[in-house]
Amino acid sequence: MISQKNIKSVTELEFEQEVIDYLTNIGGVKQWEYKKEINNIDQLWDNFKNILEKNNQARLNKPLSKQEFNQVKKVINNIKTPYEAGQFLYGVNGVSEIEVSLDDDRHVFLTVFDQSQVGGGSTVYQIVNQIVSKPVISGRQERRFDVTLLINGLPIIQIELKKVLHNSNDSLSQMEQYISERQYEGIYSTLQVLIAMTPYDIKYMANTTINQFNKEFAFNWQNENDSNPIRSWKEFSDKVLSIPMAHELATRYMILDGTKNKECIKVMRPYQVYATKKVLDLVKKHDFSFSDGKLGYIWHTTGSGKTITSFKTAWLTSKLPNVDKVIFLVDRIALTNQTVNAYKAYDPISGLTDKSGVISDTANVSDLHNKLNRKTDKNIIVTSIQKMSRYALRKDMKKGKQNILFIVDEAHRSTGDGSDNKGMLEAIRREYPTAAWIGYTGTPKFPETSDVFGSLLHAYTIKDAIADKNVLGFNVEFKETIKAPENPSDEDIDDNIKESIYDRKDEHVELVVEDIFNNWRKRSNDRKYNALLTVHVGGNKPSIPRAMQYFREFEKRNKEKPGADKIKVAISFSQDTSNGNNQLTNNNDLFYAIRAYNEIFGTVFDMSTVKAYVDDVISRLNKTIDDRNYLDLVIVVDQLLTGFDAPELNTLYVDRTLKGSSLIQAYSRTNRIHSAVNKPWGNVINYRWPNQNELEMNKAFAIYSNKDSANKQLTLDEYRNSNQNDNIISKSFSDAKEELKEVVEELKNLTNDFKRVPASEREQNELFSKIREYNILLSKLKQYSEDDNKNPISAYDNPEEFYNLIGMTEEKELILATVLAPELRSSRAKKENVDISEIDLEMIHIREIRIDYDYLIDLIAQLANEVYKTEWDKAEITKEKIDSEVAKSNNESEKRKVRKFVSKIFSQEFEFDNYPVEANVEAISEAMNKMQKDENISIITQFIRDWGLDYSIGPKDLSLLMEKHKIGQEDLDKQGEFTAIMNGAKDTYSSIASKDIAKLTWVKYRIELRKEFYKIADEIKNNE
């Protein structure tokens, strides 16, 4: 037995077999059936065919013929993304079917999946391993998949395993490589969940396309009672991979996100699953006739995915027989569209052709009345609490008797007695006394939220989320611009009550903008991320004039800066229709800001298109705009401080006083996960009342990090220490510096003072782990703008000082980044028998390391001449030198391009026109571009031939068109370009296209051509 051996000596294949044995008999109960005889793709298809025939015996007189089954295979082979796979598996109302024309001229619909039979019925659960898959992309190697879990014969969950001395990142890199090689296509296109497993480190994530793959979205499973991660692979198997949980995870707890240009699937995290189950169980048992309806509330911290959790709750409860309508209440009218759009994107039915889904919003009170009282399959209604309360008070509108479940967003706002805005929920409750109520909040009020909704059902605090790496902690600065009055009262500080010196002094605005410019490169991590600036004037005075003063100050500074140092700034506030004293000024300012925006981005907005302007600002801030011309900073008063999700926003500048839940909400705009190395935390910079605001921040974090701490009163130091220990706020600069110095010393010891990679596997694994730790800690330290004594600090402006601070030198950093790290990656790749690209070890530098292009060109010319003379020993050494030089680049695209060119020279696939090759930068760059263009033209030419486009467009013209393409976008038909190409082939494709394509009907041809066209366009752009 493996369990009797030293765990470190267990091979991956032995570990794999132990996992299989365990999954077949979890808890002594028969679970997954092991199909040892299945070991290649053809056998997988045969197995799926047998199950499909067995489950559809009532519709089939005999087994499917080859021609009949080919129709089934074609549907599955045409699945191009995990999102399309999710749509296929969900089908219509949870039943996935494939239409087949039988040889006897009958048309039948064969059931592939039925979600009502999860864990039972005719559902078949199987496990296979070491499936051999041939290369999809020419030149790639054959692959073997570790463990695949099949449901009704289709791959649904993929497990890649590594032995004990590895971590799950290695398995994730392996699956990322498979995705890049298009291995998860054909029958594997149905994969929904990817699992990276070692004996003590298990993570899971939703399957994804290569351009959306991000290891930061792989999660551990957790215990329900204490949120601690599950470390044992057996315990993970018990809780996640047992039947029916594994099937539920891949279906019931999966989200199909149909957001335009970002279609993907999302698998719920453990706390989301636990919370959803709690609510479902309560609603199932709820008696709508007698109970007071206070089912309770969910406390999930801001940024942890409450929208997904509430959607799944609404979706699943709407299917229960005792629920007639689910009404999702948002706390502000402005959030209604945002929530409706998110819900519709998550609705699996609305993503299907000719289906509008089950989510509906409400245009007005009359529309709400009609949708509430009309019997329809649209039984989830999203509306504002304001509109719902107005409807509740309308005595002329008769309310029907229905079992209604209200799900309330931002439940901490919903308190009061019904006499004012805060009491609107109670007004609704009086009109619907038998309704059930669930609240969702990231920042509950104590004890008010419990009084309104009932007991706490599930908590997931900011402390939990940061520990799980589901959100980031914060690096918070408190800057002093002008001297504030000493010993201010609470009223002096609270800008909801009084105007302060910060609101009156022009110097304050100038110093804030100066600080933002001076530290922009550090805080934005060399312009990788963007920011918000929120401004508020105290004493109920208008804040827009102050916000505009900031806008004009940025304009002034930008005019003084060279292009590379400019900051692209916009301002966002609503058009003023109040008829108040400031209406004219506010609207004139808005018009001024819109015209300035048009000049920067070439847009044509005006006062008639303010909503479109705001939408465009948001798209450029969250980086979803098609033209990829993004904003650096947006100035707001209150907009975007709640409910705005932008993973590539990492900094919030604050010129106001924030407290409690408002502080948590605003700070949380910065802490969405994106890249562990490049975005280690959210930055927040406060510019008024430094001591007092630090106390308010630490108090808020202490309260909202622990549900039991709400009523504890601590000192500032006690709050600060508690929050630092929980990693909610960053350590002091000196502590962070010492932590990095210790890692540098360990690296020095492991590498014999940065001279060599250690020989033993144990030490190599330790070095690999320490280099990763070094990168993360260095990335953090580089984003501090001052030390503990408020002295400026900058790796960008003074790298020598930075090297001395951490006990490093520029030479040692160069050796670590360009020699030791690549050597370590290469060594691990050889031992694991994987491509080096699967070994993830991104390097962060203090001083930017640049390629010596003159030297690189000399080496490439030297290599070409050595290959031409067949001096292979010399060529091998030169190739290694080139690889070391190229390793200095942080630009993966550049590295890939050069390495491909060098590889083709070395393999003699590319030859220069004349030898000996001269070390001429222009000539070799031209040769490299020619090689890439030739390869692209070859791909395009083959595409034209396969699809019968010979009379429609030539390779060069199609290549020119594809130069305009942006990866992941369907952007080459804005003026009918693609449609013209397609229509040009209408009369000829059936006679000149490849055999399989020529058989397609015109409708099917158009659909498939569009998919393949953009796939090829993506491939061409990836090659650049």
What are the φ and ψ backbone dihedral angles of 229, each rounded to 5 degrees?
Answer: -70, 145
Considering only residues 394 and 602, tell me which one the structure prediction assigns the higher pLDDT: 602
The pLDDT of residue 850? 62
pLDDT at 412: 61
Query: Cβ(295)–Cβ(435) under 8 Å?
Result: no
Alpha carbon distances (Å) from 537 to 499, 512, 971: 6, 15, 44
Closest CA to 192 of 246, 242, 127, 143: 246
| Residue 782: alpha-carbon gap to chain centroid | 24
The token duo for 309 is: 């959790």
Find residue 145's DSSP bridge partners: 131
CB 479 within 8 A of CB 655: no
**Which tens digit of pLDDT belongs to each residue from 757-798?**
998 888 988 999 899 899 889 988 988 888 888 888 888 888
Structure tokens given for 586: 């506010």
Tens-digit pLDDT profile for residues 505-519: 999 999 999 999 999
Statement: residue 480 has pLDDT above 50: yes
Measured CA to CA in angstroms, residue 518 lies from 224, 566, 998 at distances of 46, 11, 62
Confidence class for position 354, pLDDT limits 50, 70, 90: very low
pLDDT at residue 355, as a whole number: 44
Confidence tier at 834 by pLDDT (50, 70, 90): low
Query: Do 270-460 and 472-723 share a fold?
Result: yes
C-alpha separations of 246 from 38, 149, 185, 249, 251 in Å: 21, 9, 22, 5, 9
**C-beta pairs of 959-968 under 8 Å, 24+ apart in sequence:** 959/933, 959/1020, 962/1016, 962/1017, 962/1020, 962/1021, 965/1014, 965/1017, 965/1018, 965/1020, 965/1021, 966/626, 966/628, 966/1021, 967/211, 967/1018, 967/1021, 967/1022, 968/209, 968/211, 968/261, 968/1018
Report which DSSP code applies to 421: G
The CA distances from residue 381 to 37, 275, 297, in Å, are: 50, 21, 20
User: Does residue 562 sit in helix, strand or coil?
Assistant: coil
Q: Could you tell me the CA-to-CA distances from 439 to 280, 443, 648, 861, 916 in Å, in that order?
A: 14, 11, 29, 68, 75
Looking at the chain, the whole-number percentage of residues with pLDDT higher than 90 is: 40
Phi-psi category of 139—alpha, beta or left, where left has phi over 0 and alpha has psi -120 to 50? left
In Å, how far from its chain's centre is CA 296? 30
The answer to whether 605 touches 612, Cβ cutoff 8 Å, is yes
Which of 134-143, 188-197, 699-708, 932-941 is predicted most confidently?
Answer: 188-197
Tokens representing 580 are 């108040």
Rounded average pLDDT over 409-423: 56
Tell me the domain boundaries of the chain.
Answer: 12-255+262-267, 270-460, 472-723, 733-838, 926-1023
* Residue range 472-723 in CATH 3.40.50.300: yes
Work out the pLDDT band at 433, boundaries 50, 70, 90: confident
Sequential DSSP letters for 153-183: TEEEEEEEE--TTS-HHHHHHHHHHHHHTT-
How confident is the model over 801-829, as a mean pLDDT? 86
Angle CA(443)–CA(449)–CA(453) in degrees, nearest 5? Answer: 125
pLDDT of residue 417: 40
φ, ψ (nearest 5 deg) of residue 6 = -60, 125
From 128-142, 271-285, 295-309, 389-403, the region with the lowest mean pLDDT: 389-403
pLDDT tens digits for 357-398? 444 556 677 878 887 877 766 688 888 888 888 888 888 777
- For the question of whether the overall pTM of this predicted structure is more than 0.85, the answer is no
Quick one: 940 exposed, middle or buried, by C-beta within 10 A (0-12, 13-18, 19+)? Answer: buried
Q: State mean pLDDT over 106-126.
A: 90
Burial annotation 89-110 (CB, 10 A radius, 16+ → b, else e): bbbeebebbbebebeeeeebeb
Strands of 199-286, DSSP E: 202-206, 254-257, 264-267
Burial of residue 844, with CB atoms counted within 10 A of its CB: 0-12 exposed, 13-18 middle, 19 or more buried: buried
Give CA torsion, residues 206, 210, 212, 216, to 10 deg.
60
Query: How many CB atoms lie under 10 A from the CB of residue 4?
Result: 5
pLDDT band of 707, cuts 50, 70, 90: low
| Mean pLDDT value of segment 65-79 | 94
In the chain, the amino acid numbered 821 is A
Count CB atoms within 10 A of the CB of residue 126. 22
Please write the tens of the pLDDT for every residue from 206-217.
999 988 888 888
C-alpha atoms less than 13 angstroms from C-alpha of 546 in its C-beta half-sphere: 25
Q: Is the dihedral of CA 188, 190, 194, 198 positive or negative?
A: negative
Amino acid at 843: M
Q: String of b and e for 346-384 (b: at least 16 CB within 10 Å)?
A: bbbbbbbeeeebbbbbbeebebbbebbeeeeeebbbbbb
Rounded CA-CA distance 924/928 in Å is: 6
Least confident of 426-430, 436-440, 893-897: 893-897
Give the total residue count for the chain: 1024
Token pair in block for residue 75? 């549907």
Q: For residue 713, what pLDDT band results from cuts at 50, 70 and 90?
A: low
Q: For position 230, what pLDDT does the model report?
A: 93
Q: Which one of 48-57, 281-290, 382-391 scores highest in mean pLDDT?
A: 48-57
- For domain 270-460, the CATH class is alpha beta
3-state secondary structure of 67: helix
> Could you name the CATH architecture of 12-255+262-267?
Alpha-Beta Complex (3.90)
Write down the pLDDT at residue 968.
63
Higher pLDDT, 478 or 306: 478
Tell me, what's the pLDDT at 851?
A: 65
pLDDT band at 574, cuts 50/70/90? confident
Confidence band, pLDDT 50/70/90 cuts, at residue 935? confident
Radius of gyration of the chain (CA): 30
How confident is the prediction for the chain on average, in pLDDT?
A: 86
Nearest one of 289, 286, 371, 387 to 335, comparing CA atoms: 387
**CA 915, 918, 919 angle in degrees (round to 5)?**
145
- Cα separation values, 72 from 51, 65, 79, 132, 997, Å: 13, 11, 12, 22, 16
Residue type, 607: M
Per-residue pLDDT at 356: 46
pLDDT for 1003 = 85
